[in-house]
Structure 1
Amino acid sequence: MTTTTRTQTSAKSPARGKNAGRWRMSPRVRKANLLLHLIVSITWLGLDIGLLALTITGLATDDPQTLRAAYISMRLFGDLLLIPAGLLTLVTGVVLALGTHWGLTRYYWVLVKVVLTLTALTLTIFALRPGLHEAAEAAIATPLDDTGPDMLYPPIVSLTMYVTMAFLSVFKPWSRTPWAR
């Protein structure tokens, strides 16, 4: 009977090789972080689809109550849900990148995802939220004012960005960056 043992680098002994000094997540921590990242990313995508549905509802209705409800709901999405979902997506994604072999700047697809996430989060905070507030205030003041068409573009742009990020996660195109070790 032969017994096989695996040698692992303990906390007391230094790491050797090309990954020396580099922090890596344990499989259990990586899976938990990946699960959290997937949940908040899907939440962010779902909120965007909800915004698109509410925008289309607001544009298609002739009922002032429905229009008002749609735009007030959109404002609530922006104030209470979009920013926390976007921030958690960014944080969990960066932790995953830094704690795994993918790295933050080792592969173009990871770098593009980070840039797209930062762009989507910045646009949400500085462009979408103020637009949601304006549309809600206009719908409250003058329910059938033509405030809706401008609100159609942000969910479409962000949906395109989220689908692109999902594509990058699955297919991992392109090669390593010049910064890869």
Structure 2
Amino acid sequence: MKHLQRPVRRALLVVHVAVSVAWLGLSLGLLTLGLTAYTTQDPSLTQAAYRAMKVFADWLLAPVALVTFGSGLVLSLGTPWGLARHRWVWIKFWLTLATAAATIFALRPEIAHAAAAGVPDSSLVGAPVVSTTAYLFMTAISVLKPWGLTRRGRHLRESTARQAPRAGRAARQGQFS
């Protein structure tokens, strides 16, 4: 994929950061509601918390997860970071894919079931804990960019370094012809 032009890249980066932060906030909100539903002794509050979770799950979870994944994928393919050049990008890609799939195919149906049953469910505390931890981890590696290049990234860097002296020599020879 061709590198994105600066204005496009910056706009896409704003979108990616905004929806990623929204996904983290949504996860914290679901955790709060899940804890409330699980720990309260009031059945009507349990029911209300699960219904609120269902509203978030029905309207926000899938779109936020998919836009986060899509914008991150386009950014990785359209910038020098690449998708498989740096370990932190590669790990973020797979974690985002896994959490998006778990959100859409496991968490949403579980929330719908809990909203219908109205019975405390510990998995609706555990799932948001796991997702929040994953999103915080992905945020940290986005900022810190640890671990260096992947094998593919090292190979690309070496091949570029080998080609650079040849390109410079050809350009110099062209100057004196």
Shorter-chain TM-score range: 0.7 to 0.9
Question: What secondary structure does 1:179 align onto?
Answer: helix
Give the AA of the match of 1:175: G
2:148 paired residue number: 175
Gaps of 5+ in 2: 157-177
CA distance in 2 between partners of 1:91 and 1:118 (Å): 10
Alignment of 1:106-145 (within 5 A): 106-139=85-118, 145=119
CA distance in 1 between partners of 2:65 and 2:38 (Å): 26
1:27 paired residue number: 6
Deviations 1:34-55 (A, max 9, x none): 0000110011111100000001
CA distance in 1 between partners of 2:98 and 2:115 (Å): 24
Give the AA of the match of 1:37: H
TM-aligned CA deviation for residue 26 of structure 1 = 1.5
CA distance in 1 between partners of 2:122 and 2:9 (Å): 42
TM-aligned CA deviation for residue 60 of structure 1 = 2.5
TM-score (norm 1): 0.82
Matched-pair identity in %: 44
TM-score (norm 2): 0.84
Alignment of 1:1-181 (within 5 A): 23-139=2-118, 145=119, 147-180=120-153, 181=156
Aligned residues: 154
Give the AA of the match of 1:113: K
2:164 paired residue number: none
Alignment RMSD, CA only? Answer: 1.1
In terms of fraction of residues, the more helix-rich structure is: 2
Give the AA of the match of 2:138: M
CA distance in 2 between partners of 1:150 and 1:34 (Å): 33
